Structure 1
Amino acid sequence: MLFLIWFVMAVAALVLYFRQIHSRYSKHDIKHLKTSESLRSMAKLILRINHFTDDLQRFYDNFPDERFIGSYEFLTPKIMIKDLDLVKRITIKDFEYFLDHRVFIDEKLDPFFGRNLFSLKGQEWKDMRSTLSPAFTSSKIRLMVPFMVEVGDQMIQALKAKIKDSDVDYIDIESKDLATKYANDVIASCAFGLKVNSHIDEDNEFYQKGREATNLKYTQMLRFFCFICFPKLMAKLKFTLFTEKMTSFFKNLVLNTMRNREEHNIIRPDMIHLLMEAKKGKLKYDDKTAQDTDAGFATVEESSVGKKVIDRVWSDSDLIAQAILFFLAGFETVSSAMAFALHELAINPDVQEKLVQEIKENEIKNGGKFDYNSIQNMKYMDMVVSEVLRLWPPAIATDRICNKDYNLGKANNKSTEDYIIRKGEGVTIPTWTIHRDPKFFPNPTKFDPERFSEENKRNIHPFSYMPFGLGPRNCIGSRFALCEVKVMLYQLLQHMKVTPCEKTCIPTKLSTESFNVRIKGGHWIRLKIRS
């Protein structure tokens, strides 16, 4: 009987605790998902019934008149920001209140993830941003274009050989796989100084490690959800995001490359060299980089945070962490943008032919050569890439953690009091749904590069378009990513005609089998040598 009484009291206390936590939004008249709805949505994701973007879109659309809306991740309250003026305040004006991303990886257990630029917090993040920013200016990226072109030549040769060996004059390929191999070889060359050809040798260790790290299988998805909902428990159980074998591979790769270059005085204008310069304190902004040029409409500008000169020595582990981050970002997000670009060009032949015509004109104008400057001057290319990043943003949302209590204002016009978000609580800025809001982009699901024409792009609300984030904590590699995507499309369309095939998913629908943004059934296209 005593045990039964204690059990009932414990259950009652737990229920009251949950009710108190989950009644917070109701007390402040903030529209929100009920606990049962949140749990149901999470269950559908885990059971692969819905994709994360489905729930994000439904959540966003169900509350049209709200400036922000509430949700819970198990016991953790989280606010989704809808009002663009509030987005501006959080990411720029009052940036210091929302300086950090939420990080669910313990840096002591997994330093190569917990110590990268995305995960670092506060002053350490500012110092690392200042250290790395000079590595991502246009003056540095332009030196890497020849490496990208070399990788593109390998890709074209491999594709032409496969078409020649086929019984027909075309091949059907999975373009995400094609783009991933290209992105892998570019990051191997531009970041690590390695020459690999994943189109010929799919078993090379560099490519296999990338697939292992970025292909979120079902068990990895479950682990990822556990990291989000129970970070302290996962830390106590000493779970890590990457395997020991994978971290050892990158550790040895970076340290051995650095050691070899120092011993033989090898200088190659890639990321490893720039990291070595950063460690020595020799990587600084100069007059040339201060006047940095855009790589397109989607380029994000470096803030004053990244342009400060610092005097700080970083450990080898810190540098390895940044190298791994470059690899993962280059492997997954850039290849995703490429794959969706090829998909849209296949099902929109008028757009493809207009882009091909611009490529031909550029060939004639520059005598068959192209470099960083010429490719950035291709206006229609930039329109196409900008629209791909609007419709299919590589990061579907971005987050910030509040580091001191902050007044978000009233949730809607009928609210009677302001809402104070507390220190340690998080906000989400839903890139995916803002990019698809008809208030900002009419007929939002249509692929229409003309949105970004000279006449139209000035009408785009500056905070409605954020493929690389906003404010000082934006993506440091936007110039590199945009350049890589454009070089790949240029070379491929120069030699290949892209069309749909029997496996092409029309209309486009996302797969629920992966946490990544993937097309159902795969990104299938047909390639034929252009006459």
Structure 2
Amino acid sequence: MLLLLTWVVVIVTALVLYLRQAYGSLRRDGINHLPTVPFFGNIFWVMFQKEHFVDLIMKITNAFPDDKIVGNYDMMTPILIIRDLEMLKRITVKDFEHFIDRRSFTTELDPMFGRGLLLLHGDEWKAMRSTMSPAFTSSKIRLMVPFMEEVCLEMVKVLKQRIKDSGTSYYDMECKEVMTRYANDVIASCAFGLKVESLTRDSEFYVHSKSITKFTFWRFMKFMFYRLLPSVAGMLQLSLVSQKTTDYFTNVVLGTMKDREKNKIVRNDMINILMEVKKGQLTHEKEGKDADAGFATVEESHVGKKQHNYEWTDTDLVAQAALFLFAGFDTISTAMSFILYELAINPDVQDRLVQEIREYDAKNNGKIDYNSIQSMTYLDMVVSEGMRLWPPAPFMDRICVNDYNIGRPNKEATKDLIIRKGQCVVIPAYTLHRNPEYFPNPSKFDPERFSHENRDKIVPFTYLPFGLGPRNCIGSRFALCEVKVMLYLLLRDLKLTTCDKTCIPARLSKETFNLKLEGGHWVRFKLRQ
């Protein structure tokens, strides 16, 4: 009995000393952070769905308003959250080579995500980025507008029919659901060359797409297992996506390519672009003067414009198509859902936007194209403000690849902070976008912030809906164009108002890591007179 008690004391003491050591690393570096829970760090309430992650980051940054860097423990892993704009510039642009990588959430052997542009590292990422960047220029997106228009017109037709079938003059709808289906059909058409019509049925493409983005409990457990024991997860070859879904998209991508090659079919979509990439026929073009895709657009850096001869495998091709699907399916549908919600609760903004839509519609005889969509000033202001208030990527991370002296993290620090190789830093876009120092009355939906008179007042590095630096979102032009086409065609015929289920004031659901309103994005649709 005495021996057992001794071992218990030894184990408990060792565990206490280990936890004290583990949770003391930020303090030893002079980094302030909130109190931790053993083994969970600062994310205890997030994991048990009592707090949303963006609210946690906001709480941490607000707790130490004078600090340049604050800390957070992601379970046992110390994370640095960058608050200072000059430090943000150094990490994302000036000294980008020290922070070139992103934090991985799966192994390289994962056939759907492991070889995607999002998770590649170092020189391999540079080669893939430069090879893929010509696929997302304005000249390429311009050719995809007719596909977007076709899908959106079908969506408007479906919504009109639902209003008619309701037996009333309106139809109450959860926006996220229909925007997800719209985004899915746009991706199916623009990326895979498929017409899937998931707005009226659960197509096979939609079901498999949803399985990729759905954050189930077991997927979360795999995700956390990789974060805690990446080498073990690699040996076990854990994949976040089922083999059935992997096989489906592999067959779609490679099968479509084979069919087009055989029958000499050319369609201006992502499959065709990937075919050009594999053959080495996709080259960088000089953008014309009408290439402006909006204020929120991020420009390609010198990294993306450098020529590389990358040897593509079938796995690489499938991974890029899957990444395009993953990014377009969830993040953009989230952005569109929030913008529709804000237009419903801000009728004055909606009325002004509709006025601009009608003016352009009359001028262009009801036709739309890339140039006309991008030249609409107020439409761009509305989308830019929607991306500020509800950024689809509320935070971004970077991994330090070489030890880096970032300077003093706060006034009390007695020494410079050395960010060590392998350490993760977080860029809190959501927090920056809602900082009253940069955006007065930050919770108000105010497109005037992005008028030609006011946009120059926006402090650099405080507005980052698509990230910063060479590792920004490669598909910003596509995303913005997709959102604008949807708003133009939908608001031209339908009016948005609130309904009994509309979440007012806006509150984020704690049941998901994604940005989603509590109870859903409910709005009422009516036919425009």
Q: TM-score, normalised on structure 1? A: 0.96
Instruction: Tell me the residue number matched to 1:74.
Output: 75
CA separation of 1:3 and 1:434: change in aligned 2, threshold 3 A? same
CA contact (8 A) 1:341 1:385 kept: yes
Question: Which whole-Å deviations, capped at 9, do the CAs of 1:457-484 have from their partners, x for residues lacking one?
Answer: 1000120000000000000000000000
Q: What SS class does the counterpart of residue 527 from structure 1 fall into? A: strand
CA contact (8 A) 1:137 1:292 kept: no
Question: Which residue, out of 311, 332, 354, partners 1:356?
Answer: 354
Q: What SS class does the counterpart of residue 528 from structure 1 fall into? A: strand
Instruction: Tell me the residue number matched to 1:139.
Output: 139
Question: Which whole-Å deviations, capped at 9, do the CAs of 1:365-400 have from their partners, x for residues lacking one?
Answer: 222211100110101000000000000000110000
Q: How many residues align?
A: 528
> RMSD value over aligned CA atoms?
1.7
Alpha-carbon distance in structure 1 between the residues aligned to 2:502 and 2:225:
34
CA separation of 1:155 and 1:417: change in aligned 2, threshold 3 A? same
Instruction: Tell me the residue number matched to 1:511.
Output: 509
Q: Are 2:207 and 1:208 equivalent residues in the alignment?
A: yes
Instruction: Tell me the residue number matched to 1:274.
Output: 273
CA separation of 1:189 and 1:528: change in aligned 2, threshold 3 A? same
Structure 1 residue 512: Cα displacement: 1.2
Alpha-carbon distance in structure 2 between the residues aligned to 1:292 and 1:403:
38
Greater Cα shift, 366-375 or 325-334: 366-375
Q: What SS class does the counterpart of residue 40 from structure 2 fall into? A: helix
Question: Which residue, out of 298, 301, 309, partners 1:300?
Answer: 298
Instruction: Tell me the residue number matched to 1:122.
Output: 122
Instruction: Tell me the residue number matched to 2:469.
Output: 471
Instruction: Tell me the residue number matched to 1:43.
Output: 44
Structure 1 residue 23: Cα displacement: 1.8
Alpha-carbon distance in structure 2 between the residues aligned to 1:246 and 1:214:
12
Alpha-carbon distance in structure 1 between the residues aligned to 2:350 and 2:174:
18
Matches within 5 A, 1:124-523: 124-201=124-201, 203-286=202-285, 288-289=286-287, 293-523=291-521
Question: Which whole-Å deviations, capped at 9, do the CAs of 1:57-84 have from their partners, x for residues lacking one?
Answer: 1111101000001222233221000001
Q: Partner letter of residue 168 of structure 2?
A: V
CA separation of 1:443 and 1:456: change in aligned 2, threshold 3 A? same
Q: What SS class does the counterpart of residue 192 from structure 1 fall into? A: coil
Greater Cα shift, 348-357 or 304-313: 304-313
Q: What SS class does the counterpart of residue 70 from structure 2 fall into? A: strand
Q: Partner letter of residue 175 of structure 2?
A: S
Q: What SS class does the counterpart of residue 248 from structure 2 fall into? A: helix
CA contact (8 A) 1:217 1:514 kept: no
Alpha-carbon distance in structure 1 between the residues aligned to 2:171 and 2:42:
40
Q: What SS class does the counterpart of residue 43 from structure 2 fall into? A: helix
Task: Name the % identity.
Answer: 56
Structure 1 residue 43: Cα displacement: 2.5
CA contact (8 A) 1:38 1:71 kept: no
Structure 1 residue 256: Cα displacement: 0.3
Q: What SS class does the counterpart of residue 470 from structure 2 fall into? A: coil
Alpha-carbon distance in structure 1 between the residues aligned to 2:411 and 2:304:
38
Instruction: Tell me the residue number matched to 2:31.
Output: 30
- Gaps of at least 5 residues in structure 1 are none
Alpha-carbon distance in structure 2 between the residues aligned to 1:426 and 1:470:
16
Alpha-carbon distance in structure 2 between the residues aligned to 1:121 and 1:457:
34
CA contact (8 A) 1:190 1:270 kept: yes
CA contact (8 A) 1:216 1:516 kept: no
Alpha-carbon distance in structure 2 between the residues aligned to 1:486 and 1:391:
17
Greater Cα shift, 453-462 or 27-36: 27-36
Structure 1 residue 6: Cα displacement: 5.0
Structure 1 residue 2: Cα displacement: 5.5
Alpha-carbon distance in structure 1 between the residues aligned to 2:432 and 2:25:
26
CA contact (8 A) 2:32 2:71 kept: yes
Q: Are 2:21 and 1:20 equivalent residues in the alignment?
A: yes
CA contact (8 A) 1:196 1:204 kept: yes
Q: What SS class does the counterpart of residue 160 from structure 1 fall into? A: helix
CA separation of 1:193 and 1:5: change in aligned 2, threshold 3 A? same
CA contact (8 A) 1:73 1:229 kept: no
Q: What SS class does the counterpart of residue 472 from structure 1 fall into? A: helix
CA contact (8 A) 2:494 2:526 kept: yes
Alpha-carbon distance in structure 2 between the residues aligned to 1:22 and 1:41:
10
Q: Partner letter of residue 464 of structure 1?
A: T
Q: Partner letter of residue 177 of structure 2?
A: D
Structure 1 residue 363: Cα displacement: 1.0
Alpha-carbon distance in structure 2 between the residues aligned to 1:211 and 1:104:
19
Question: Which whole-Å deviations, capped at 9, do the CAs of 1:277-332 have from their partners, x for residues lacking one?
Answer: 0011111113x337682210000000011111112221010010000000011110
Alpha-carbon distance in structure 2 between the residues aligned to 1:228 and 1:362:
50
CA contact (8 A) 1:221 1:515 kept: no
Q: Partner letter of residue 241 of structure 2?
A: F
Alpha-carbon distance in structure 1 between the residues aligned to 2:223 and 2:333:
22
Q: TM-score, normalised on structure 2? A: 0.96
Alpha-carbon distance in structure 1 between the residues aligned to 2:159 and 2:503:
22
CA contact (8 A) 1:407 1:421 kept: yes
Structure 1 residue 161: Cα displacement: 1.5
Alpha-carbon distance in structure 2 between the residues aligned to 1:101 and 1:418:
24
Instruction: Tell me the residue number matched to 2:54.
Output: 53
Instruction: Tell me the residue number matched to 2:522.
Output: 524
Alpha-carbon distance in structure 2 between the residues aligned to 1:226 and 1:61:
30
Q: Partner letter of residue 307 of structure 1?
A: K
Q: What SS class does the counterpart of residue 405 from structure 2 fall into? A: strand
CA contact (8 A) 2:107 2:238 kept: no
- Gaps of at least 5 residues in structure 2 are none
Structure 1 residue 25: Cα displacement: 2.4
Q: Partner letter of residue 72 of structure 1?
A: Y
CA separation of 1:294 and 1:257: change in aligned 2, threshold 3 A? same
Alpha-carbon distance in structure 2 between the residues aligned to 1:353 and 1:290:
33
Structure 1 residue 222: Cα displacement: 4.0
